Amino acid sequence: MTTIKIKGMSCRHCVMAVTKALSGIDGIKDVQVDLEKGEAAFTEEKSIDRALIRERIVKAGFDVAG
């Protein structure tokens, strides 16, 4: 499982937006977003370009930390 830190989440709507953004990427499944920890965990069925993940998170209105 891959875990990334996400900045800017403050509510359940944020969690749903990040979940939807990551779930929409081909090859990502089992997305679990933790609001309190400010991170998202997911399984990669194939290698996913980190730039694509960052782009989708930013498009949803958040930022990837680190």
What token pair was written down for 65? 């930390």
Q: pLDDT value at position 49?
A: 93
Map residue 6 onto helix, strand or coil.
Answer: strand
User: With bands split at pLDDT 50, 70 and 90, how would you rate the model's confidence at 56?
Assistant: very high
Beta strands in 1-66 (DSSP E): 2-7, 28-34, 39-44, 63-64
Average pLDDT over residues 20-28: 97
Pick the CATH number of 2-64 from 3.30.930.10, 3.40.50.300, 3.30.70.100, 3.30.530.20: 3.30.70.100
Q: What is the pTM of this model?
A: 0.91
**What ranges do the domains of the chain cover?**
2-64
Residue 42 has pLDDT above 80, yes or no: yes
* Beta-carbon count within 10 A of 55 CB: 14
φ, ψ for residue 3 (rounded to 5)? -125, 135
Q: pLDDT value at position 31?
A: 98
